[in-house]
A = this chain, B = another copy of it.
Amino acid sequence: MTLSKQEMPKQSYLVESEQILHSDIKKQIMQLFSLSSSSAENIDEFIDDISDNFISAGDASSDVDLDSLAAKFCDSKVPSQPANFENYLEYLVDNVIAHSIHTASPKFIGHMTSALPSFMQPLAKLMTAMNQNSVKIETAKSLSFYERQALAMLHRQIYNFSDNFYSEHIQNSQSTLGILTSGGTTANITAMWCYRNAVLGAKDDFFGVEKEGLTAALNFYGYKGAAIIGSELMHFSFDKAADLLGIGNRGLIKIPVDSNNRMRVRSLRQAVAKCLQENLCIIAIIGIAGTTDSGGVDPLLDIAKIACEANVHFHVDAAWGGPLIFSQQHRYKLAGIEQANSVTIDGHKQLYLPMGIGMLFLREPQMAQSIEKQASYTMRKGSFDLGKRALEGSRPGMALFLHAGLNLIGSKGYEFLIDEGIRKTQYMAARICAMPEFELLAEPDTNLLIYRYIPEPLRDVVAKKQLTEIDNLFISQFNERLQKSQRQAGRTFISRTMKSTTCFSQEISIVALRAVLANPLTTEDDIDAVLNDQIQIASEISLSAYNGLKNQDSLLDCVS
């Protein structure tokens, strides 16, 4: 459309009408950038109404199917003229908001997304009004120091170093106690990047992996390859890290877990020995504090000891479980985290901040030097520009949410939130154990729970622990179907994952239902309602339809 217009001969009437149009456009656009329109009261009220309605929705989502939803978003042309904001908001309400996920619903307990404290909404407005760019001091100024402070506050919660340590490093441009990222994935990748560059750094006449590349670095140091070691339940950001960093996923060594989803320490010890024997450079050993699948916490103290003995960096992925440090009752589960060289925590998970906040904390304030970069127009050496040691470049002033969260919720507030989540998880686990319809698949370490529905004919066999592999496949198929039907109906929501289990001394993979109990608005009644909804849906999955699934393809799907 636009291109063909360019090819048209310029006729006088066309030029004239375009000039008129131009002055119209100018007026409309300048109006958009003017202050008066920002505080239009009717817009604000409309937005508040939409938001309040959305947040207070009790169900998990609408029941629209994905195909008809996709069909709403098929026009690929940018409209030529500016649209009216109110009309656009109405379009949003009908097409987008009506079919968004009610992540704040007390019955949406299947993913790590929860209700937020209400002060986050006005702060988001403020952050957008300020539109700072935290990459450099010249576009952030106070926010750079404020961000450093917020990160130091959490660093102190983890490592609890001396007052002197924090006085020295908190506002020292040469020190990096933490890096604010867009999420835990980037934080984990950044940690691995730091360690790869530190372990294969400059030495003698070798300029290090950063300059000379991975092949030259492995050659120089005499390694046959590189490895990252963690449990088989490591987050898939480590797959990304191993791929990105040139190590390759073969170099991502996955240690088996026990029945409660914790890394087997003996296997780790063997894997480390094997790497040393095979002359592989170990970039880092990962401990998980709250696996994405089931919330399990690895034996961090044991892992720390092994990493220390092998003189290898120890990273804890506490994206989920990190905030347990606030709980006097539960933080013993994280014992050993203070020995980690680095820790990932997600702000948008159990710190109850809006989406888009990950953090990497570094025990040694100089570690991030290994990834430092400069540019001629900014990020000069010795500057306070936060972007000089980061994977990302320009980024919003998300520190506003973090600093506000720490101050407006406080350590006691976070303790309450953590304790409540775990208490409710224990309630749900007890309910599941008491109900014949369900089987608990692991004792919860934190506030994730994995379980499954057992179709009636198989309940006795489960009780007798005599399920065959085929029985398990049927149960997995049933649970997959149950989870999809529940998601489609939209009244409540539970997610699903795969779990390894032993069946007649053979390792098999089964489908598990996965609950995440983090929303402070979720009550015990809500938990009961979710479980009852599943029982209801299960009763509607007719055995005939279920039997129809028993073909070779879908069985293979289940185990793949």
Contact = CB atoms under 8 A, between A and B. Distances in A.
A171 B354 CA distance: 27
Interface in A69-85: 69-83, 85
A211 interface: yes
A113 B128 CA distance: 12
Contacts of A80: 410-412
Of A160, A217, A393, A408, the most chain B CB neighbours within 10 A belong to: A393
B113 A211 contact: no
B392 A170 contact: no
B79 A56 contact: no
Interface string A86-110: 0010001001111111011000001
A271 interface: no
B246 A213 contact: yes
B240 A373 contact: yes
Nearest to A22: B416
Interface in A275-327: 292-293
Given A101-B132, A131-B355, A376-B498, A408 B83 contact: yes
B129 A55 contact: yes
A208 to B, nearest CB: 9
A354 B411 CA distance: 31
Contact of A38 (B121, B214, B292): B121
Interface stretch (A138-146, A468-476, A533-541, A542-550): A138-146
A368 to B, nearest CB: 13
B394 A184 contact: yes
Given A126-B50, A249-B210, A396-B355, A410 B78 contact: yes
Interface in A163-206: 166-167, 170-171, 182-186, 189, 193, 197
Contacts of A396: 354-356
A141 B493 CA distance: 13
Interface in A29-49: 29-30, 32-35, 37-39, 43-44, 47-48
A29 B413 contact: yes
A131 B148 contact: no
Interface string A220-262: 0000011000000001110110011111111100000000000
A374 interface: yes
Interface string A324-353: 000010000000000000000010100000
Interface stretch (A150-158, A433-441, A458-466): A150-158
A125 B47 contact: yes
Contacts of A293: 376-377
A197 to B, nearest CB: 7
A346 B395 CA distance: 11
A182 B392 contact: yes
A149 interface: yes
Of A35, A149, A250, A355, the most chain B CB neighbours within 10 A belong to: A355
Given A374-B236, A498-B376, A142 B520 contact: no
B32 A138 contact: no
Of A247, A379, A410, the most chain B CB neighbours within 10 A belong to: A410
A149 B183 contact: no
A404 interface: yes
Interface string A418-429: 000000000000
Contacts of A127: 124
Contacts of A30: 520
Interface residues of A, number: 185
B250 A211 contact: yes
Contacts of A79: 406-407, 410-411
A328 B149 contact: no
Contact of A73 (B92, B171, B240, B498): B171
Contact of A48 (B39, B166, B375, B497): B39
A204 to B, nearest CB: 17
A218 B213 CA distance: 12
A394 B355 contact: yes
Given A140-B100, A246-B209, A73 B145 contact: yes
B182 A356 contact: yes
A226 to B, nearest CB: 7
Contacts of A95: 142, 146
A484 B463 CA distance: 75
Contacts of A148: 73
Contacts of A122: 43-44, 47, 125
A356 B356 contact: yes
Contacts of A184: 393-394
A505 interface: no
Contacts of A121: 38, 125, 128-129
A193 B247 contact: no
A409 interface: yes
6 contacts: A2-B328, A33-B118, A96-B146, A211-B248, A213-B247, A355-B394
Given A51-B126, A246-B246, 11 more contacts: A3-B160, A29-B417, A33-B521, A44-B44, A62-B141, A88-B404, A189-B244, A213-B248, A239-B373, A240-B391, A355-B396
Nearest 7 CB-CB pairs, A to B?
A: A246-B246, A213-B248, A38-B118, A214-B246, A51-B129, A185-B393, A99-B142
